[in-house]
A = this chain, B = another copy of it.
């Protein structure tokens, strides 16, 4: 079986960290000069590994194996959040690089094809999952023309600036690409809490993002008796209590819902709020549970409006995202590898966060492997994973990748 080189793996991860290093964290926003430097370095390391590497017309680094297909595709992303950690995305890309090298160095697997990708803009500096969406054939021209980063720079201008305006885009080749593996940090505290080292992802959860707008009657906070108020803020608070109760009845241990923002209008001490808004997000691995939660919400809203104190209206802030199942045969390969190298130290789990795998899974059988995040922290400079977990994760991923690649290459 192929053997990864832990020192080479860690050296590459640590070198990649130097691009945009900020204290213990990394600031490497998509298509920024430092991100492009990192991409050019990565393409060089892919070429050194015997892959044929390009940076495509949206910025994705794609290292194509010189072996004939069918190929296993391993990918993740090397762009970061505005205040990002060093492993979120980077881990999976460098695993892919190391696995490609390890399989090429092994007699039994040197003939198989492993392509490796760093998808551009997973984190949505301009347009989330841009690289994987472009790869699977979604039309991203509108995003290229219209999407802007926080500074107002157009994606199209950033691509021009990066010298990519006239570069072709890499596209999926379903005759070649037969399976997708995305290793990633967990970004939550579940593996750590359970004392496990490896997570095998069953599903990437679906998401609803809703705005609830409450309308009451703005009034003087001194002269308006409680009995005749129609306080939109008080209505919002009362509604959240009912919603929590309703959701608790539908939830399982992995269902999550979050009120991330509340705004009262006009927002001063002396005025009974006449309007109020909340941002609600909920996530679950079950499409039917998401549907049941939305239905429950609609019923709560109807009841609330029938009572007539204040009214509430719901709008979708983002289109619904349905859960995406990981391929069960690929999951079995991950489980077999985990049980061989870390018996009893792995578990199956949903991914509460979004990943490029959810885009690609609609076109290829896809799977994900997680390693633990210390303290469950991510999207923060202090995000980290124990070195032993980084190495073990790559060993498990490499063993599974070898088995998958051998299987698909017949």
Interface residues of A in 271-286 (CB under 8 A from B): 271-273, 279, 281, 283
The 6 residue pairs across chains A and B that have the minimum distance between CB atoms = A188-B223, A222-B352, A223-B352, A221-B258, A261-B267, A262-B262
How many monomers of this protein are in the complex? Answer: 2
A225 in contact with B254 (CB, 8 Å): yes
Q: Can you list 30 A-B pairs, Cβ within 8 angstroms, ordered by A?
A: A187-B223, A188-B220, A189-B223, A190-B223, A190-B225, A207-B222, A221-B256, A221-B260, A222-B353, A222-B354, A223-B353, A226-B256, A226-B257, A228-B376, A234-B259, A237-B237, A237-B241, A237-B259, A241-B241, A258-B272, A259-B264, A259-B273, A260-B267, A260-B268, A260-B270, A260-B271, A261-B264, A261-B267, A262-B264, A267-B279
Given contacts A220-B187, A260-B270, A260-B273, contact A225 B253 (CB under 8 A): yes
Chain B nearest CB, measured from A379 CB (Å): 6
B209 in contact with A226 (CB, 8 Å): no
Assembly CA distance A352 to B222 (angstroms): 4
Chain A interfacial residues counted at CB < 8 A:
58
Asked if A328 is at the interface (CB within 8 A of a chain B CB), the reply is no
Who on chain B is nearest to A271 by CB?
Answer: B260
Asked if A157 is at the interface (CB within 8 A of a chain B CB), the reply is no
Residue from B267, B273, B379 in contact with A220 in the complex, judged by beta carbons closer than 8 Å:
B379
A positions within 8 Å CB-CB of B: 186-190, 193, 205, 207, 209, 219-228, 231, 233-234, 237, 240-241, 244, 251, 253-264, 267-273, 279, 281, 283, 317-318, 351-354, 376, 378-379
Given contacts A255-B226, A260-B268, contact A376 B219 (CB under 8 A): yes
Residue from B227, B234, B269 in contact with A261 in the complex, judged by beta carbons closer than 8 Å:
B269
A190: chain B residues at CB < 8 Å are 223, 225
Assembly CA distance A271 to B227 (angstroms): 36
A228: chain B residues at CB < 8 Å are 189, 193, 376
Assembly CA distance A272 to B187 (angstroms): 13
A353: chain B residues at CB < 8 Å are 220, 222-223
Given contacts A221-B281, A261-B268, A264-B259, contact A226 B251 (CB under 8 A): yes
A251: chain B residues at CB < 8 Å are 226
A223 in contact with B378 (CB, 8 Å): yes
A224: chain B residues at CB < 8 Å are 188-189, 256, 352, 376
Most buried by B among A241, A261, A268: A261
Who on chain B is nearest to A237 by CB?
Answer: B240
A270: chain B residues at CB < 8 Å are 258, 260, 281
Who on chain B is nearest to A224 by CB?
Answer: B188
A221: chain B residues at CB < 8 Å are 256, 258, 260, 281, 283
Who on chain B is nearest to A241 by CB?
Answer: B241
A264: chain B residues at CB < 8 Å are 259-262
Residue from B186, B223, B225, B269 in contact with A260 in the complex, judged by beta carbons closer than 8 Å:
B269
Instruction: Supply 10 further A-B pairs (C-beta < 8 A) apart from A225-B256, A260-B271.
Output: A189-B228, A193-B228, A205-B222, A220-B353, A222-B256, A225-B254, A233-B262, A260-B267, A260-B268, A269-B317
Assembly CA distance A283 to B263 (angstroms): 23
